[in-house]
Amino acid sequence: MLQQNVKRLDTAYKNFFEGRGFPKFKNRSNFTSFTYQMGVKVQGSKIYLPKLGWMRFHNSRVIPEGFTIKAATIRKRQNGWDVSIRIEDKSIPDYISKPLNEINSLLGCDLGITKLVHLSDSYQIENPRFSTNKKAKRTLKIRQRRVSKKVKGSNNRKKSAKRLGRLHKKIADKRSAYQWETANKIVSRKVDAIAVENLNVSGMLRRCKVKIDEKTGRFLKNGQSRKKGLNRSISDAGWSDLILKIEYLAVKQGKIVIKVNPKNSSQECRNCGHIDKSNRDGEKFICTHCGYHEHADIGAAKTIRDRAFEIVRGDSTKLAV
Ligand SMILES: [Zn+2]
């Protein structure tokens, strides 16, 4: 367990020497989790953690017969401490998925903000915007303000911080539940494989470059305040978490998830291949070259599906990295 922190420090220094920035100071409150690689035992509703001893816990899922505990991670959550246990049974073979050349049907998914998912079969899934809808935004703002108005280090501040944290947790739980529901809807369709975009969410979330007036040295508007709102919406949608859940459920059903390069997927004409930003007008797609038109996001989902088909057929040059 102590080794883990040394490992974290080692990674930080390795990153530093490979030119990825100086290690950051970490406050005591940054360390909210630790992992045991060995020595954890579970007996009914009691768990043994080395150096800490036996303690009671709520055993939410019984460890199935024949499995051994591989590792345990303890995390501090807003409503207490969670322990997640990694188990293994060597006698169970890995899930076998279909070989690529046996894929006959594919479902394309286009992830978005106004609608969470558009599917290539024209089905749409709503985005409830758990933390960026009007009501949630207001409550979050109020709770946040209650924290920042209080004296630093005071008990009152801690109390209101806890209330804010609980709200964040509630929102996260709701989002996660909705994502499972959505992933289930997608995976349970009668297809062999599911095609999703290979997203670079952290790239999308990056801040705008600082603009400085050369003459006066003053900061100019760079659109960051507008980007901030979009960034929040992207985080709220939780695309990468959703994809993870889709992958998890797909494996269980022997289905394959194919990740494709989403470049220009919403700007490319599906009729003539013409790529142009002005092909798209809000929800509508109208090709400036040939006049082909359809719903822009469903079109994008179809493009993603077709790109996955290209991969299946063996054109690996289009394979997303
Ligand atoms: Zn066209």
Q: Are 77 and 107 members of one domain?
A: no
Q: Are 146 and 285 members of one domain?
A: yes
Give the per-residue pLDDT at 167.
94
* Listed residue (145, 113, 134, 75) closest to 235, CA to CA: 113
Q: Does the pLDDT value for residue 201 go beyond 80? A: no
What is the pLDDT averaged over residues 285-308? 92
Based on the number of CB atoms within 10 Å of its own CB, is 239 exposed (0-12), middle (13-18) or buried (19 or more)?
Answer: buried
Q: Are 105 and 82 members of one domain?
A: no
Confirm whether 94 is domain-assigned.
no
Q: Are 196 and 261 members of one domain?
A: yes
59: tokens are 């055993």
Give the per-residue pLDDT at 95.
65
Question: 88, 115, 142 — which closes off a domain?
Answer: 88
* Sign of the alpha-carbon torsion through 287, 291, 297, 301: negative
Query: No. of H helices and E strands in the chain?
Result: 7, 16
Q: Does the pLDDT value for residue 315 go beyond 70? A: no
Question: 88, 122, 141 — which closes off a domain?
Answer: 88
What is the pLDDT averaged over residues 85-104? 78
Q: What share of the chain is helix, strand, coil (3-state, %, to 5)?
A: 40, 25, 40
Q: Does the pLDDT value for residue 174 go beyond 90? A: yes
Q: Are 208 and 268 members of one domain?
A: yes
For residue 270, the CA-to-ligand 1 centroid distance in Å is 7
Total domains, the chain: 2
* Listed residue (172, 163, 165) closest to 131, CA to CA: 172
- 197 is an active site residue: yes
Give the per-residue pLDDT at 142.
96
Indicate the pLDDT class of residue 26, thresholds 50, 70 and 90.
Answer: confident
Q: Give tens-digit pLDDT for 97-153.
A: 677 778 889 999 999 889 999 999 999 999 999 999 999 999 999 999 999 999 999
Please tell me which of 105-114, 195-204, 216-225 the model is most confident about, judged by mean pLDDT.
105-114
Give the per-residue pLDDT at 320.
41
Give the per-residue pLDDT at 281.
83
Give the per-residue pLDDT at 217.
79
For residue 128, the CA-to-ligand 1 centroid distance in Å is 33
Confirm whether 170 is domain-assigned.
yes
How many Å apart are CA 85 and CA 191, to the nearest integer? Answer: 33
Q: Considering 110, 236, 268, 306, which one is annotated as catalytic?
A: 110
Q: Are 83 and 106 members of one domain?
A: no
Confirm whether 48 is domain-assigned.
yes
Q: Are 81 and 184 members of one domain?
A: no
Give the per-residue pLDDT at 318.
45
Average pLDDT score over the chain:
87
Confirm whether 93 is domain-assigned.
no
Confirm whether 84 is domain-assigned.
yes
Confirm whether 41 is domain-assigned.
yes
Q: Are 169 and 306 members of one domain?
A: yes
221: tokens are 């508007």
Q: Are 205 and 312 members of one domain?
A: yes
pTM higher than 0.85: no
Q: How many CB atoms lie within 10 A of CB 152?
A: 6
Q: Tell the residue number behind the tokens 């797909």, with chain if given.
A: 250
Give the per-residue pLDDT at 321.
36
Q: Considering 236, 247, 297, 306, which one is annotated as catalytic?
A: 297
For residue 293, the CA-to-ligand 1 centroid distance in Å is 8
Confirm whether 238 is domain-assigned.
yes
Give the per-residue pLDDT at 1.
67
Question: 88, 111, 137 — which closes off a domain?
Answer: 88
For residue 105, the CA-to-ligand 1 centroid distance in Å is 25
CA distances from 313 to 103, 264, 305 (A): 9, 21, 12
Give the per-residue pLDDT at 218.
83
The residue among 73 and 321 whose pLDDT is bigger is 73
The residue among 175 and 220 whose pLDDT is bigger is 175
Instruction: Report the range of poorest mean pLDDT among 205-219, 245-259, 270-284, 290-304.
Output: 205-219
Q: Are 207 and 292 members of one domain?
A: yes
Confirm whether 95 is domain-assigned.
no
H/E element, 142: helix 134-148
- 82 is an active site residue: no
Give the per-residue pLDDT at 138.
96
For residue 92, the CA-to-ligand 1 centroid distance in Å is 51
135: tokens are 């009501």
Q: Are 219 and 131 members of one domain?
A: yes
How many Å apart are CA 245 and CA 251, to the nearest integer? Answer: 10
Q: Are 151 and 80 members of one domain?
A: no
Q: How many CB atoms lie within 10 A of CB 126?
A: 11
- Whether 300 and 265 have beta carbons less than 8 Å apart is answered as yes
Q: What percent of the chain has pLDDT over 90?
A: 46
Q: Does the pLDDT value for residue 319 go beyond 50? A: no
DSSP codes of every residue in 183-248 = HHHHHTSS-SEEEEE---HHHHTPPPPPEE-TTT-PEEP-SHHHHHHHHHHHHHHTHHHHHHHHHH
- 173 is an active site residue: no
Q: Considering 192, 197, 213, 315, which one is annotated as catalytic?
A: 197
Q: Tell the residue number behind the tokens 């949608």, with chain if given.
A: 237
Give the per-residue pLDDT at 161.
93
How many Å apart are CA 59 and CA 182, to the nearest integer? Answer: 27
For residue 261, the CA-to-ligand 1 centroid distance in Å is 20
Look up the domain containing 71 and give its range: 2-88
